[in-house]
Amino acid sequence: MQENNGMEGIAPLPPVRREPPTVRLRRLAAELRRLRQEAGLSQAEVAEKTDINLATLHRIETAKTKPQLRTLNALLDAYGATGSTRTDLIALQKAAKQRGWLHGIEANLRGQYSAYIALEAEAHEAVNYESLFIPGLLQTEDYARAVIRGVLPTDTEAEVEHRVTARMRRQALLESDTPLRLWAIMDQAALSRTVGSEAVMRAQFRHLIQQAQRPHITIQVIPFSAGSHPGMLGSFILLKFAMDSPDVIHIDSMAGDLFLEKEADLQRYNRICEHLRAMALSPADTAALIASLCGDH
């Protein structure tokens, strides 16, 4: 006979559904990790210095939990963070649960630690569609320099070189022991526009052909003959993360960086990716097209 425990007719409580981290919370976590590392402190040393539980510190740095304001202030004190960096991170903490991000707070943080670069470094896969450029992770240094000079004509030479260096460093994600899986899709227009010079384009095409041979990189081109397609509305990058972290869409525009996190947006862009892959040339035919363009140049 089953023992009567006085709980008949009471349904068990549903499991608590943990809210996935927002871009803001991920950004805050990445900045706190960076500040700790720049201070030369281990997590254990910070825990001892601030009396913050080590497990809590780990959850904060992996965007599993939002730090309370007093906890954040204790961490910023330990890292010696002052001025605009401190102000911006406190603003991030207050807005950490809000989804989506159109430029704003991160503009005042160090450029090389922008929100997108921090997210890209944590992703395990990226689908990058470009309508006018070679994707940044596949650009040669000379092509990147020519693109940046053309797109940002008011930047100084030092600013251009800083951006080129940052772009080249990002490409280390493709060289690690567990490299980022990259699926790059381009409109043929990105290949047809001469950027820099014909010599720059020839080198860029050869680089694309070499990169396409790597098992973690897939390159496709949507030919002019395909006609109109969903990518004509603009370029975007779909970042995919391991475990239970949701995808993020990044759109770079003159108005700033736009991050899309809502489920409806993610579903829409995943469908767009499927359409673009279907309309593009196969990877083999893409390589043949690029090789023919290399000969033309």
Type of residue found at 91:
A
- What phi and psi values does residue 255 have, to the nearest 5 degrees? -80, -10
Distance CA 236, CA 226 (A): 20
The answer to whether residues 216 and 179 touch, using CB atoms and an 8 Å cutoff, is: yes
Residues 6+ apart with CB under 8 A from 290: 191, 205, 208, 209, 212, 219, 221
> Could you tell me where in the chain the CATH 3.30.870 domains are found?
112-296
> Could you tell me where in the chain the CATH 1.10.260.40 domains are found?
23-98
Give the fold, CATH level 3, of 23-98. 434 Repressor (Amino-terminal Domain) (1.10.260)
Strand partners, 130: 186
Q: Kindly write down the DSSP assignment for every residue of 105-136, as one continuous string.
A: GGGGS-GGG-HHHHHHHH-SEEEEEESSS--G
pTM of the model: 0.73
Distance CA 289, CA 233 (A): 24
Q: Selecting from 3.30.1460, 1.10.8, 2.40.160, 3.30.870, what CATH number does the domain 112-296 have?
A: 3.30.870
Interval 114-128: pLDDT, tens:
678 878 888 899 999
Per-10-residue mean pLDDT of the chain, 297 residues long, equals: 43 50 78 90 90 89 86 92 86 75 45 67 92 96 96 92 91 93 97 94 96 97 95 94 80 78 91 96 96 77
